[in-house]
Structure 1
Amino acid sequence: MGGIGFFIPIIVFAFVLLTSIIKVLKEYERGVIFTLGRVGKKAAGPGLILLIPVIQVMRKVDMRTLVHDVPTQDVISQDNVSVKVNAVIYYRVVDAVRAVVQVENYMAATSQLAQTTLRSVLGKHDLDEMLQERDKLNKDIQEILDLQTEAWGIKVSNVEIKHVDVDQSMIRAIARQAEAERERRSKVILAEGEYQAAAKLSEAASVLATSPGAMELRYLNSLQDIAGDRTNTIVFPFSMGELAAQLRRP
């Protein structure tokens, strides 16, 4: 028993030593190795990695696409409307060495940058643009984030605005505005129709004025349309000059 007890600490020490020497990285993982505090140009892995105890230290980095939910942000639009907006961003590490060396915590840094960028970009647009042009806003935010995080070895692949919540009182105001806009459009369409009809009537009058025969045919056509309904009474206009001329005839 005493011999076995003697070997237990040695076995434990050997196990700890082996676990500190032998590292296995999965296909989606990379290892940033520090040798006496200095880092190499490239990350190690995937597969079996052998480290020198005490001298070398390795930090694992996940290279898969990460999904981060941006917390709800209070945004004041360009037209002074207060809204609550949240979004989701998709990003991944493309350079494990820079992600470890250039920033303390690349996940937290990307999250904070996404929040400030979301408020900054949306604050430059009206509420209508937030609701109707989300694709454009998503692209603008993604490009800004990608440019900022490039120095950290981070690639922001996509940004999606999930919700734009507006206060109930503002929703009623927007509804009234939309109703007024629809009424304005209907009046404009009606006015355009009247204008086009007047233009066509003016053209028709010009044609009829140059051809007395066409005017007579149009007059007879109108009488035919009226005669189609028996409830109508046809009154033939007759000028006083023509009546006097008829009376003077022998």
Structure 2
Amino acid sequence: MAEIGLSTPITLLIAFIILSQAIKIVREYERVVIFRLGRFSGVKGPGIFFIIPIIDRVILLDLRVFTIDVAKQVVITRDNVSVEVDAVIYYRVVDPSRAVIQVENYKLATSLLAQTTLRDVLGQIELDDLLSKRDELNKKLQSILDQHTDPWGIKVTAVTLRDVSLPESMRRAIAKQAESEREKRSRIILADGEFQASKTMTDAARLYEEVPAALKLRELQTLVDIAREKTLIVVTPSGDAATGSMVGMTSALNRELSEREATRKDEAKKEALKEASIEAARARR
């Protein structure tokens, strides 16, 4: 009786240990790969399930997105410029069985693959493209990495080039180039302004040539502008002759302008009558 009484607690303890080893609970973002006697048995989770202790071996995997902070890589671009580039890789496990069976350590393998791919891809492009086409390079790197990690059950969701460090001499050269571009744009704007001003002056000279009285009135206007300065003394012709000359020039200019306006109106009327006759002919047809 004593032996039976002693064995009962031991049996219960052994049963409890076996049962605790047989019951497994995994979270929503986890999966368990089961090997039975060394052979792949299946993937379980999430929730509660049972295994056979000692016979079954389980490997727990996290399905959430992981990040790889790729250390700075020294890259020589196609135009022979040495730069340091670092990046961030985002990936997750999509097939737990392949992530365990096809690769020994998928985290280390993905990290090393990211480093070599970064050097290979960036070594095939020029520095200007590396600095200006970040989005295209990110997509290209993501596509290449995803293609290589797919047999491992890994999905590379994104790649981000974080920093590009240039040598000091190259930074000075780029700054000098940017300054030259700004100076070039400034000169173009200045030249365009001078061209517009010269065009306006040419038009004014043509007008003065066609209407000489306008040039004289412009001279008189200049004298009026100068007279507004209190510190200046302007001497102008006086007398009835000078006044009569000014009045005569003004009258001549007014007549010239009136004749031009009348000619313009006559031409407009003729054009309107011509269009009206054409419309009437079309209506009769």
TM beyond 0.5: yes
SS in 2 for 1:84: strand
The structure with the greater share of residues assigned to helix is: 2
Shift of 1:69: 0.7
Specify whether residues 27 and 232 from structure 1 end up closer, same or farther in structure 2 by C-alpha distance, changes over 3 A only: farther
Counterpart CA distance in 2 for 1:16 and 1:208 is 113
Shift of 1:133: 4.4
Equivalent in the alignment of 2:155: 155
SS in 1 for 2:43: coil
Equivalent in the alignment of 2:139: 139
Counterpart CA distance in 2 for 1:148 and 1:222 is 81
Specify whether residues 139 and 228 from structure 1 end up closer, same or farther in structure 2 by C-alpha distance, changes over 3 A only: farther
Equivalent in the alignment of 1:22: 23
What residue identity is the alignment partner of 2:57? Answer: V
What residue identity is the alignment partner of 1:57? Answer: R
Specify whether residues 32 and 235 from structure 1 end up closer, same or farther in structure 2 by C-alpha distance, changes over 3 A only: farther
Equivalent in the alignment of 1:74: 74
SS in 2 for 1:148: helix
Specify whether residues 21 and 215 from structure 1 end up closer, same or farther in structure 2 by C-alpha distance, changes over 3 A only: same
Q: Percent identity?
A: 50
Equivalent in the alignment of 1:109: 109
What residue identity is the alignment partner of 1:47? Answer: G
Equivalent in the alignment of 2:118: 118
What residue identity is the alignment partner of 1:137? Answer: L
Counterpart CA distance in 2 for 1:232 and 1:79 is 70
Counterpart CA distance in 2 for 1:69 and 1:14 is 46
Mind listing any 5+ residue stretches in structure 1 that lack a counterpart? 237-250
- Superposed CA RMSD: 3.6
Counterpart CA distance in 1 for 2:213 and 2:148 is 80
Equivalent in the alignment of 2:51: 51
TM-score (norm 1): 0.73
Specify whether residues 223 and 46 from structure 1 end up closer, same or farther in structure 2 by C-alpha distance, changes over 3 A only: same
Q: Taking CA–CA contacts closer than 8 Å with sequence separation of 6 or more, which of the two structures ends up with the larger relative contact order?
A: 1
Mind listing any 5+ residue stretches in structure 2 that lack a counterpart? 238-285
SS in 1 for 2:196: helix
Bigger shift: 142-151 or 206-215? 206-215
Specify whether residues 217 and 58 from structure 1 end up closer, same or farther in structure 2 by C-alpha distance, changes over 3 A only: farther
Q: Could you tell me whether the CA contact under 8 Å between 1:66 and 1:91 is conserved in 2?
A: yes
Specify whether residues 137 and 227 from structure 1 end up closer, same or farther in structure 2 by C-alpha distance, changes over 3 A only: farther
Specify whether residues 223 and 30 from structure 1 end up closer, same or farther in structure 2 by C-alpha distance, changes over 3 A only: same
Superposed CA offset, 1:95-131 (max 9, x none)? 2223223333221221122112222333344444444
Counterpart CA distance in 2 for 1:146 and 1:213 is 82
Equivalent in the alignment of 1:165: 165
TM-score (norm 2): 0.65
Counterpart CA distance in 1 for 2:183 and 2:233 is 38
Equivalent in the alignment of 1:246: none
Shift of 1:138: 2.9
Specify whether residues 189 and 56 from structure 1 end up closer, same or farther in structure 2 by C-alpha distance, changes over 3 A only: same
Q: Could you tell me whether the CA contact under 8 Å between 2:223 and 2:234 is conserved in 1?
A: no
Counterpart CA distance in 1 for 2:39 and 2:207 is 94
Counterpart CA distance in 2 for 1:97 and 1:146 is 17
1:165-244 matches, cutoff 5 A: 165-229=165-229, 230-231=231-232
Counterpart CA distance in 1 for 2:198 and 2:19 is 95
Shift of 1:5: 9.6
Say which one has the larger Rg.
2
SS in 2 for 1:43: strand
Q: Could you tell me whether the CA contact under 8 Å between 1:226 and 1:234 is conserved in 2?
A: no
